[in-house]
């Protein structure tokens, strides 16, 4: 299957600082990537859709100025959490869309655990 990596796998930062998370598709090109957030014992919550070469599309309730997304190449999307606060602590997961004919699948990265102190 297609492989997606994320870096870092975990990060601890102080309140008020910014953190950048990278998502890479390793063996395929992804014009579309997705960023999710997951709280303990809950399912995935879509935050935004990242489109290569254009602005990201944010879900309702997600602050675009706080969660900056850049998709500058066909294999890399980044999520920057700006001025992080403890309530931003969460598990962030990216996925990349892979098309096989008319079927679209998403392959997920291993996730990034963010802890804001």
Judged by the rule CB under 8 A, the positions of this chain that interact with another protein are 1, 4, 6, 32, 34, 41-44, 46, 49, 91, 93, 95, 99, 102-111, 113
Compare residues 70 and 106 and give the one whose CB is closer to another protein. Answer: 106
Nearest approach in angstroms of CB 87 to another protein is: 20
Nearest approach in angstroms of CB 105 to another protein is: 6
Distance CA 87, CA 90 (A): 8
Distance CA 109, CA 112 (A): 9
61 C-beta neighbours (distance < 10 Å), count: 7
Compare residues 3 and 72 and give the one whose CB is closer to another protein. Answer: 3
DSSP assigned state of 86: G
Nearest approach in angstroms of CB 42 to another protein is: 8
Compare residues 17 and 105 and give the one whose CB is closer to another protein. Answer: 105
- CB burial of 20-35 (b: ≥16 within 10 Å; e: otherwise) equals ebbbbbeebebebbbb
């Amino acid at each position: 299957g297609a492989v997606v990596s994320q870096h870092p796998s975990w990060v601890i930062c102080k309140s008020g600082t910014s953190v950048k998370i990278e998502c890479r598709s390793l063996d395929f090109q992804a014009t579309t990537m997705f960023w999710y957030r997951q709280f303990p014992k809950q399912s995935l919550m879509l935050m935004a859709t990242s489109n290569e070469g254009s602005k990201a599309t944010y879900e309702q309730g997600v602050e675009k100025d706080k969660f900056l997304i850049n998709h500058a190449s066909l294999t890399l999307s980044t999520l920057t959490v700006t001025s992080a606060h403890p309530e931003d602590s969460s598990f962030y997961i990216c996925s990349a869309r892979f098309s096989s004919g008319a079927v679209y699948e998403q392959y997920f990265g291993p996730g990034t655990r963010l802890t804001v102190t």
